[in-house]
Structures are given as C-alpha cells and as structure tokens.
Chain A
Amino acid sequence: MRSVPAPQMKFGVLQFPGSCDDLDALQAARRVGDAELIWHADRDLAGADAIIVPGGFSYGDYLRAGAIARFSPAMESVIEFASDGGLVLGICNGFQVLCEARLLPGALLGNANRRFTFRQVELEVLYSGGPFTAACALGERLSIPAKHAWGRYYADAQTLAAMDRGGQLVLRYAPGENFNGSLHDIAGVCNERGNVFGLMPHPEHAVDQLTGGSADGLKIFESMRMTVEGARA
C-alpha cells in the first residue's frame, strides 16, 4: 500500500503596490513548499501556514519605508495571524513594515553611508534555536545579498539589552560587513515570542548557486518548513 504524502506547507507572500521581490520570494518558498501571492487589499490569508512580507518599495516608501503598507487590509490580518502565533518573515521592506506595525521592536533608518548599497554580505547566526534559523548551526556564516538605502537597525539601549537576553538578535553582519551602520551589527531580529522575524539581506535571492552566488538563503525557508511541519507531527 502506498502511503499518502502529507500536504505541503503553504506560504502566503504579500504583494503591495511597489513590491519588487515578491516573485523571488514566491519562487524561493516553492522550493520547500506550496506558495501563493496575497494582494495587499485582501484580508484573506488564503489558509497560509506562514506569511512572507517581501522586499521592494511598498506604496512608494512615502513618508517612511513601510509606514503606509503597515495599515493595509492584508497587514491587519497578518497582525492577527502573528498574535495567534503564526510564522511571519519580513525581508528588507518587509522588515521595515513589521517594525512599523510594531510586530518587531526597533526601526530602520537611512544607511550611515547615505547610499543605496547592493552587495553580497556575510552574516553570522547568533541564535539557531528559533523557527527561522532551525536549519542553521550556531555561529554558521550565511552569504546573502543585501540591497537597500534604509537598513540601519536602531533600538534604544534598554530594548537591545532585553533582546540580547531573550535570543531575539538572530543574525548579525560578520566583522567588516556592516555597511549600513546598524547598532551591534544587527542584520535580523525576532519578536519576544519568536514567531515574527525580519532581516535586511535577501535570502530569497540566494536560493540557487548559479544565480545567487550561494544557496544559503534557502536555509531560512527550510527552517520555516521544518517548524511548521514539526508542529503538525
């Protein structure tokens, strides 16, 4: 008798006017599971097991990056989804949206070098116990491209100390790689509960050695799959 394979987990990828990395995120997610786009005006998250808020320039980045996208109907549902413990990954502009929505602590400010900067960066995994880095080893290096003008992570000293104690500082730029001036070289953070994660570099652009320079980004998506399917088992 053939066993029936368990249904694949499903990612929902938000799409705002001005998103530009939504399709890469969709393709990256499809390497580990099923994935579907969710239009910003939709409140229905299409039964997704995990949400990706992608990179780009949502609503033209008017006022502040992520400030307007944060109030979209789809984001209202994502806020509810996150408060129920659902996994939410924010990449670049998606990270900015999650900070504006207060799903993540802190804010992203203009790069200290005052330039839009595009380069491959080396990251270090500071915390591998959570749902977004479960497939990584502690201290492992990931090579992933970054491309942004507003990526300088800032939170006040008290918040940073609490985040450090709580394992919320998940990824940092390796020595010499922090081009944007982020405090403590922070590249990616999670919320207190651990189910919401944001990072400035783009794991969805590093899922294939041929086009991405490395396939290290896949580990983020693979970690999410392991977490969702582990919770089901």
Chain B
Amino acid sequence: MRARVLIRPKAGILDPQGEAVERALPALGFAGVGNVHVGRLVELDVEDASQLEAMCEKLLANPLVEDYEIVLEA
C-alpha cells in the first residue's frame, strides 16, 4: 500500500523557514498569504499500514517538536 506521511513543525514552535516563505511570497506580488509552514513529505510502500504510526513515533518524525499525518492512498 502506498502511504504518505506529512510532517510539520508543531504549532507554537518558531518556524523560520515558514516565516521566510511567508515574507517572500508578497515580495513576488502574491497577496493575501498567511500562516505558512514548511514541513517534510515521506512517501513509502508498506505491507502493513498499521505499523506506520510506530514508524512515525520512532523515526520518521520527532514527536517532541513535529506533528505528523498519515495519508493512505486508496
């Protein structure tokens, strides 16, 4: 099964990359942009999707500072 894991900085933790992008977009003429955050995407094929959460907790994300979201492809 194909899975995607979306990893993003936890809310409330300073995200300098997100802030830089948020400042860059208006400078290029794109108005009305806010709340930008930059994270990571991990795509993987897994036989047992029930293991994904443990994979995230142990390796793919650092739960102290990152939230993750698991998306399974139908």
Please tell me if the beta carbons of A114 and B16 are within 8 angstroms of each other in the complex: yes
> Looking at A110, A152, A155, which has the most chain B CB atoms within 10 Å of its CB?
A110
- Whether a CB of chain B sits under 8 angstroms from the CB of A228 is no
Contact of A154 among B13, B17, B20, B60 (CB under 8 A): B13
CB contact list, B21-64 vs A, under 8 A: 59-60, 62, 64
Can you list 19 residue pairs at the A/B interface with Cβ under 8 Å? Answer: A63-B59, A63-B60, A68-B59, A71-B59, A100-B62, A107-B62, A107-B64, A107-B65, A109-B14, A111-B16, A112-B16, A114-B16, A114-B17, A152-B14, A154-B13, A154-B65, A155-B64, A156-B64, A181-B14
Contacts A63-B59, A67-B59; A110 near B64 (Cβ below 8 A): no
Once bound together, how far apart are the Cα atoms of A17 and B18, in whole Å? 31
Once bound together, how far apart are the Cα atoms of A123 and B62, in whole Å? 28
User: Which chain B residues border A106 with CB–CB below 8 Å?
Assistant: 64
User: Which chain B residues border A31 with CB–CB below 8 Å?
Assistant: none
Q: Number of A interface residues at 8 Å Cβ cutoff, please give it.
A: 19
Interface size class of B (residues with CB under 8 A): 10 to 19
- Whether a CB of chain B sits under 8 angstroms from the CB of A64 is yes
Chain A, residue nearest B13 (CB): A154
Please tell me if the beta carbons of A67 and B62 are within 8 angstroms of each other in the complex: yes
- Mostly, the B contact residues are mixed
Question: Chain A 39-78 against B: per-residue CB contact (8 Å), 1 yes, 0 no?
Answer: 0000000000000000000000001100110010000000
Which residues from chain B sit less than 8 Å from chain A, CB to CB? Answer: 9, 13-14, 16-17, 20, 59-60, 62, 64-65
How many Å from the CB of A7 to the closest CB on chain B?
A: 40
Please tell me if the beta carbons of B16 and A110 are within 8 angstroms of each other in the complex: yes
Once bound together, how far apart are the Cα atoms of A114 and B21, in whole Å? 12
How many Å from the CB of A217 to the closest CB on chain B?
A: 28
How many Å from the CB of A43 to the closest CB on chain B?
A: 20
Contact of B20 among A114, A155, A181 (CB under 8 A): A114
Question: Chain A 191-215 against B: per-residue CB contact (8 Å), 1 yes, 0 no?
Answer: 0000000000000000000000000
User: Which chain B residues border A114 with CB–CB below 8 Å?
Assistant: 16-17, 20
How many Å from the CB of A54 to the closest CB on chain B?
A: 21
User: Which chain A residues border B59 with CB–CB below 8 Å?
Assistant: 63, 67-68, 71
Chain B, residue nearest A156 (CB): B64
User: Which chain A residues border B16 with CB–CB below 8 Å?
Assistant: 110-114, 181
Pick the 9 closest A-B CB pairs, nearest first: A107-B65, A114-B16, A107-B64, A112-B16, A107-B62, A110-B16, A64-B62, A154-B65, A114-B20
Once bound together, how far apart are the Cα atoms of A112 and B62, in whole Å? 19
Chain A, residue nearest B65 (CB): A107
Once bound together, how far apart are the Cα atoms of A67 and B57, in whole Å? 12
Please tell me if the beta carbons of A112 and B14 are within 8 angstroms of each other in the complex: yes
Q: Add 8 more A-B contacts to A67-B62, A112-B14, A114-B16 (CB < 8 A).
A: A64-B62, A106-B64, A109-B65, A110-B16, A152-B14, A154-B13, A154-B64, A156-B64
